[in-house]
Amino acid sequence: MSKISIKQLVFCGTAIALAFITSYLRLVPMPFGGSVTLFSMLFICLIGYWYGTKVGIITGLCYGVLQFLQEPYILSFFQVCCDYLLAFAGLGLAGVFRKSRHGLLKGYWLGILVRGAFHSLGGYLYWMEYMPENFPQALTAVYPLVYNYSYILAEGLLTMIVIALPPVARGLELLKRQAVD
């Protein structure tokens, strides 16, 4: 079992702080929780991409605890696990693609899709009563997916556009070299 280095700990702590700060920069707030933020998911995904899934998941889990402390909403223990702990820990799965070509892009998509899956699971189990009355009844089964992925994929697309810009991509690559060397 390998230990986390001081350098990794500093990068993880910085990523959590940046994710937490940018989670307050809400471009599109949603009425029943969640929002399109200014790249808050990226910082946790970067840790998974740089240091692997184990460190990424632990970092995401810590971030999920902070999200819970920031705006707690408790219906049950399992709902808290879905909406806070597991959803944000899922962002750390970006490390699955850390050694592949375009690994950050692939890992980022995996992380945000897993986050959305846990929020949607919580939606099915706990939040269906908040479905708008004007939502088509024939599509009731997909409401949690539509609601949660609407803001997650919007932020994901915005983030992908920005990190694909050549200067940003070069900056992230330089930062990666500093983080892992």
User: Which of 15-24, 99-108, 129-138, 153-162 bottoms out in mean pLDDT, i.e. has the lowest?
Assistant: 129-138
More confident residue, 141 or 163: 163
Percent of the chain with pLDDT over 90: 81
Determine the pLDDT at residue 1: 57
Pairing of strands 26-29, 35-37: antiparallel
How far is Cα 162 from Cα 106, in angstroms, rounded to an integer? 15
More confident residue, 31 or 85: 85
**Distance set, CA 107 to CA 125, 151, 155, 172 (Å):** 27, 18, 15, 14
User: Residues 36, 22: contact at Cβ < 8 Å?
Assistant: no
More confident residue, 45 or 141: 45
Whether residue 179 is predicted with pLDDT greater than 70 in this model: the reply is yes
The CB density around residue 12, as the number of other CB atoms within 10 Å, is: 24
Give the fold, CATH level 3, of 6-180. Arp2/3 complex 21 kDa subunit ARPC3 (1.10.1760)
- Kindly report the backbone phi and psi dihedral angles of residue 166, in degrees, each rounded to the nearest multiple of 5, phi listed first: -50, -45
More confident residue, 37 or 137: 37
Determine the pLDDT at residue 81: 95
How far is Cα 181 from Cα 179, in angstroms, rounded to an integer? 6
What pLDDT digit, counting tens, does each position of 43-56 carry? Answer: 999 999 999 999 99
Determine the pLDDT at residue 160: 96
Domain ranges of the chain: 6-180
User: Which of 15-19, 134-138, 141-145 bottoms out in mean pLDDT, i.e. has the lowest?
Assistant: 134-138
Determine the pLDDT at residue 33: 87
- Token code pair at residue 76: 């049950």
What pLDDT digit, counting tens, does each position of 59-77 carry? Answer: 999 999 999 998 898 989 9
Tell me the mean pLDDT in the region 12-29.
Answer: 97
How far is Cα 9 from Cα 127, in angstroms, rounded to an integer? 36
Whether residue 139 is predicted with pLDDT greater than 90 in this model: the reply is no
Prediction pTM value: 0.92
How far is Cα 67 from Cα 90, in angstroms, rounded to an integer? 14
DSSP 135: S
